[in-house]
Amino acid sequence: MTDRLYNDIASFLTPPPSRGVQFTQGRVLTWDNETLHNTIEWRGITLTDIPLVEGINALVIREGDIIGMLGWAPENANGVGSWWILGKLSNPGEFVADLNVTAKVFRFVTEDGNTLAFFGKDSNGNPLWILMYGGGDEQSAIRTIDAEGLVIHYRDGADAFRISGTTGNQIITMRDNSGNQLFATDAASEHGLARPWLGYRVVPSGPAQISGTSFWPSTPNGAYTQMMNGFNPVWHPEISVGVATATLGGGSADWQLRINGTTVHSASGSGSTQVTVPGWGTTVFPGDVGNFEIYGRISGGGTRAFFQCDRLYGRQS
């Protein structure tokens, strides 16, 4: 009779001579793509945390997948033995071209070890991807910001293009390599441009008169009379306007700015102001053509008022 008490227990941990390495398959019950902890169903038995062959295949496995395994298990051992996972099994035509990779950190590098691309999370746990220039300085070319924004960098790291803000209220900005802002959308109104400030054009209108040697539009009327008029595509929520005035015989030169027939500003004498385009974002949208009019009159006992528009351009909110 064999005295099993003193036998080498290694005989219980290695495959019997009659059993070599076997190939089998199992079904994934659970799979953690970060830690690779897993449970596998094999012949009605649940196996836990089966080792696996490292590589990209381990990152595409999902719950319910059929996997191939190599190992051994003695007869009637209820799964006791040694197994390792080869990878996911798929038949031709079973979405083998759809590769969904899940990893905590995924990095592509050059043969020199410089990062070309990074996919993972930032320090706050937000999804993050970065495309790099591939140099030893690890400078990013394009990257996401806080899972909502995007920035493109010049080679020296300065911002070239940026999408910032929160979902539903984001702006686009572009800068030159010295940091000067060249282009931006309007954040406050969520419509149109902030930069650049585009100029609008008005010209002397029919009712305006030329008096003496002055080429400024003028009127002797005490009632508001159209002095200048223009039609322009509107790109900004705000308008900056300035009017210079003069009079004959004293009195005051009063003027108004009207946009699409609505008086948005009234003043007396030379001055400038900033006004909001009526209906911006509700009835008037970027690119719509707007009618800009400057009306003037003489008041306070004068005989003639002169007007000249010295600024008219769009601005941000």
- pLDDT over threshold 50, residue 38: yes
Alpha carbons 30 and 208: distance in angstroms, whole number: 82
Q: What pLDDT is recorded for position 10?
A: 47
Q: Specify the DSSP element, H or E, that contains 68.
A: strand 66-72
CB 225 within 8 A of CB 207: yes
Confidence (pLDDT) at 259: 98
Alpha-carbon span 275 to 265, nearest angstrom: 7
Alpha carbon separation from 254 to 135, 213, 247, 250 (Å, rounded): 64, 22, 10, 13
Does 159 lie in the same domain as 212? no
Q: Does any domain span residue 115?
A: yes
Residue 103 binned pLDDT confidence (cut-offs 50, 70, 90):
low
In a domain? residue 192: no
Domain end residue (candidates: 185, 213, 238): 185
Tell me which amino acid residue 72 is.
W
Q: What is the pLDDT of residue 17?
A: 47
Query: Do 179 and 231 belong together in one domain?
Result: no
Q: What is the mean pLDDT of residues 82-96?
A: 79
In a domain? residue 95: no
Phi and psi at 59, nearest 5°, equal -90, -5
Give the single-character DSSP code of 52. Answer: B
Residue ending a domain, among 88, 120, 144, is 88
Residue 6's pLDDT is 47
Domain with 243 in it: what CATH number? 2.60.120
Percentage with pLDDT > 90 across the chain: 65
Q: How many CB atoms lie under 10 A from the CB of residue 172?
A: 16
pLDDT of residue 4: 43
Q: Are strands 289-299 and 169-175 parallel, antiparallel or unpaired?
A: unpaired
Residue 12 has pLDDT above 50, yes or no: no
Is the Cβ–Cβ distance between 126 and 147 less than 8 Å? yes
* Residue 194 maps to a domain: no
Please give the average per-residue pLDDT across 17-40, as a whole number.
84
Provide mean pLDDT across the span 25-53.
Answer: 91
When pLDDT is averaged across residues 67-82 and rounded to a whole number, the result is 73
Same domain, yes or no, for 217 and 129?
no
pLDDT given at position 96: 55
CB proximity list for 195: less than 8 A, separation 6 or greater: 181, 182, 183, 184, 316
Domain ranges, residue 131: 106-185
State whether 216 and 303 are in the same domain: yes
Looking at every residue in the chain, the average pLDDT score rounds to: 88
Q: How does 219-257 read in b/e, with b if 16+ C-beta sit within 10 Å?
A: beeeebbbbbbbebebbbbbbbbebbbbbbeebbbbbbb
DSSP code for 6: G
Query: Is residue 124 a part of any domain in this protein?
Result: yes
Residues 207 and 171 in one domain: no
Is pLDDT at 311 greater than 80 in this prediction? yes
Strand order in 238-248's β-sheet? Answer: 209-211, 214-219, 304-315, 238-248, 271-276
Domain-embedded: residue 181? yes
User: How many structural domains are present in the chain?
Assistant: 3
Domain match, 299 and 219 both:
yes
The answer to whether 71 and 13 are in contact (CB under 8 A) is: no
User: Do 177 and 135 fall into the same domain?
Assistant: yes
Question: Do 292 and 219 share a domain, yes or no?
Answer: yes
Q: Are residues 181 and 207 in the same domain?
A: no
Residue 5 has pLDDT above 70, yes or no: no
Note whether residue 134 is domain-resident: yes
User: Tell me, what's the pLDDT at 162?
Assistant: 96
**Same-domain check for residues 238 and 301:** yes
The per-residue pLDDT for range 129-143, each reduced to its tens digit, is 999 999 999 999 999
* Same domain assignment for residues 134 and 73: no
Give 282-308 as a DSSP string: TTB-TT-EEEEEEEEEEETT-SEEEEE
Q: Please report the pLDDT score of residue 213 as a whole number.
A: 81
The rounded percent of the chain whose pLDDT value lies above 70 is 87
- Any idea what the CATH number is for the domain that residue 50 is in? 2.40.50.140
Q: Is the pLDDT of residue 218 over 90?
A: yes
Whether pLDDT at 16 is above 60:
no
What's the confidence (pLDDT) of residue 19? Answer: 57
For residues 158 and 221, state if they share a domain.
Answer: no
Q: Judge contact between 76 and 45, C-beta under 8 A.
A: no
Residue where a domain terminates, one of 185, 220, 244 = 185
pLDDT of residue 54: 79
116 within domain boundaries: yes
What pLDDT score does 2 carry?
Answer: 47
| pLDDT above 80: residue 219 | yes
